[in-house]
Amino acid sequence: MAEERGGGGGGSGSGSGSQPDEPLPYLAPDDSQEFVRMADLFIILPSDNKDGLQQRLPLHSQVLSRSCAAVAHMLASLADERSGVACSPAQPLDISTFFAGSSRQAALLFLACAYSPEAAPARLQAALDGGGGLPAITGMLALAHRLDAARLLHAALDWAHGWRDEVYAEDPTLWLSTAAALQLDGLRGRLAAWTVSRLGQGPEAAAALLQKLDFAALPPDTAPMLLDGLAAAATHPPTAAAYERRAGPGSLCQHAAAAAAAAAELEAAEAAQLAGGLDALFEAQQQQAAEDWDEGWDEAEAEGDDWEDDGLPAPLFDGAHPVEGPFDGLLPELLEGVQLEDAAGQAVAAGAQGWPEEFEAWEQQQAAAAGALAGEAEAEADVDAWGDEFEAWEQQQEQPGAGEAAEGAEAEAAWEQQPADGDGADDAGGGTGAEAAGSSSGSKEL
């Protein structure tokens, strides 16, 4: 009978073959010895050594109950039978029956994933790289399935599928056999889809896979399923879900034909929808362009504040001069040679997109012309004002001489208009006699 030895402080086994405690590889790095001493479960596994001894590993009901529904159900039933106490650190419970038939590597890998679920992918990769290899991983899957550890099982399956070109290719026969034995239809469908895909990747990939694929060792229905998938792949490669729903020989081909028809119908519908969407988009763009044009026209017209009242011809943008109006014939002079017909023609030719630039250039030209006219008018006004001031000054300088001439002319005119009667003659004669008398007196004095 094999002897038993303790492990990690879980208590020494009975018998003279007891050995010193060994580290427990499934515990988390930060698990303390106090935590280990609180173990209320244990299992007995074969030792790594070939000395015939067995190792007793302490476990914790709270940890396993959290991840394994089968363990939780068993402990709840025992608690009902034992007045609420199923196990305790003083009286730990042996659950080795759950691990019966499993290798030591598979059991330790399962426990490591159960104690640290977040580290499951790393634990699985370490096992693949040398810690038991693929048999330990498939054994861990078998334990997860047996203990109803759904979270651990899905984590392991997702990891394997993520590294399928490495993990599945390691031993496809073992994977297909494990999936069939555990009745994992999802895994079986993934494996079948991957296998058929690899076989269709060319002669080299197919030859490498066939060297590791032992059809004789496969479950009875697996080889026909793969052949059915290969035949169906010529029309439409079956998906993993199609393999799960496979109903027998030929069903995958029927499924592939239906999938191909559905894919063609969907592609035609998408093409029609795309064409309709493009037509609708083009129509919407045209409508938006027209609305933008109208909006730009209204804004420009509002900013112009009535073209005709401002002297700007409304037919400018129709490519023609106004036929009649208050500015007919004067517009070329006002605009200083601006060619309205050319500007209008360019604006119409440029379209809705080019009109704002042409109109803005035209406005700038008008502003420049108006500024030049205003400058000339101001200069002329200054010259006129200077001329008026100079003329007034000249008149002021000539004012005295002009007054004397005016007085002499007035006196002469008055004398010539006197009447020719006696009084007038006397006045005239008297004046002459006086002058004569003056002359005579002067003679006598000499």
More confident: 85 or 305: 85
The tokens for 250 are 């030929």
More confident: 280 or 428: 280
Mean pLDDT of 241-269: 80
Residue 316 lies in a domain: no
Asked which of 98-107, 149-158, 402-411 is least confident by mean pLDDT, the reply is 402-411
pLDDT value for 430: 45
Residue 117 lies in a domain: yes
Residue 33 lies in a domain: yes
Residue 427 lies in a domain: no
Residue 173 lies in a domain: no
Cβ proximity of 57 and 24 under 8 Å: yes
The tokens for 113 are 């994933």
Domain count, the chain: 2
pLDDT value for 18: 35
> How many Cβ atoms are within 10 Å of 123's Cβ, its own excluded?
26
Confidence of residue 169 (pLDDT cuts 50, 70, 90): very high
pLDDT value for 400: 54
User: Are 96 and 207 within one domain?
Assistant: no
User: Are 194 and 80 within one domain?
Assistant: no
Question: With 60 as the cut, is the pLDDT of residue 339 above it?
Answer: no
Residue 25 lies in a domain: yes
User: Are 48 and 141 within one domain?
Assistant: yes
Mean pLDDT of 165-185: 94
Q: Which residues contact 214 (CB under 8 A, 6 or more apart)?
A: 173
User: Are 42 and 136 within one domain?
Assistant: yes
User: Are 144 and 27 within one domain?
Assistant: yes
pLDDT value for 114: 96
Domain boundary among 277, 300, 323: 300
Question: With 50 as the cut, is the pLDDT of residue 50 above it?
Answer: yes
Confidence of residue 186 (pLDDT cuts 50, 70, 90): very high
User: Are 133 and 198 within one domain?
Assistant: no
| Range ranked top by mean pLDDT from 182-186, 196-200, 234-238, 295-299 | 182-186
Domain boundary among 246, 272, 300: 300
Q: Which residues contact 426 (CB under 8 A, 6 or more apart)?
A: none
pLDDT value for 323: 47
In the numeric block, the tokens 């008008």 are attached to 366
Confidence of residue 287 (pLDDT cuts 50, 70, 90): confident
Mean pLDDT of 31-40: 91
Given CA atoms 244, 245, 248, 249 in this order, what sign does their dihedral have?
Answer: negative
**pTM, 2 dp:** 0.56
Percent of the chain with pLDDT strictly greater than 70 = 66
User: Are 87 and 202 within one domain?
Assistant: no
Per the structure, the complete domain to which residue 147 belongs is given by: 1-162
User: Are 53 and 120 within one domain?
Assistant: yes
Alpha-carbon torsion, ordered 94, 100, 105, 110, to 10 deg:
-70
More confident: 338 or 213: 213
Mean pLDDT of 111-117: 95
pLDDT in tens, 409-439: 666 666 666 555 444 444 444 444 444 444 4
Alpha-carbon torsion, ordered 72, 77, 80, 82, to 10 deg:
-100
Mean pLDDT of 323-333: 49
**Over the chain, what is the mean pLDDT?**
76
User: Are 135 and 246 within one domain?
Assistant: no
User: Are 3 and 123 within one domain?
Assistant: yes
Residue 74 lies in a domain: yes
Domain boundary among 268, 300, 332: 300
Q: Which residues contact 215 (CB under 8 A, 6 or more apart)?
A: 223
Confidence of residue 407 (pLDDT cuts 50, 70, 90): low
Cβ proximity of 157 and 179 under 8 Å: no
Burial 250-282 (b: 16+ CB within 10 A, else e): ebbbebbeebeeeeeeeeeeeeeeeeeeeeeee
pLDDT value for 9: 46
User: Are 8 and 71 within one domain?
Assistant: yes
User: Are 1 and 147 within one domain?
Assistant: yes
What distance in Å separates the CA atoms of residue 278 and residue 266, rounded to the nearest whole number?
Answer: 18
Residue 426 lies in a domain: no
pLDDT value for 263: 79
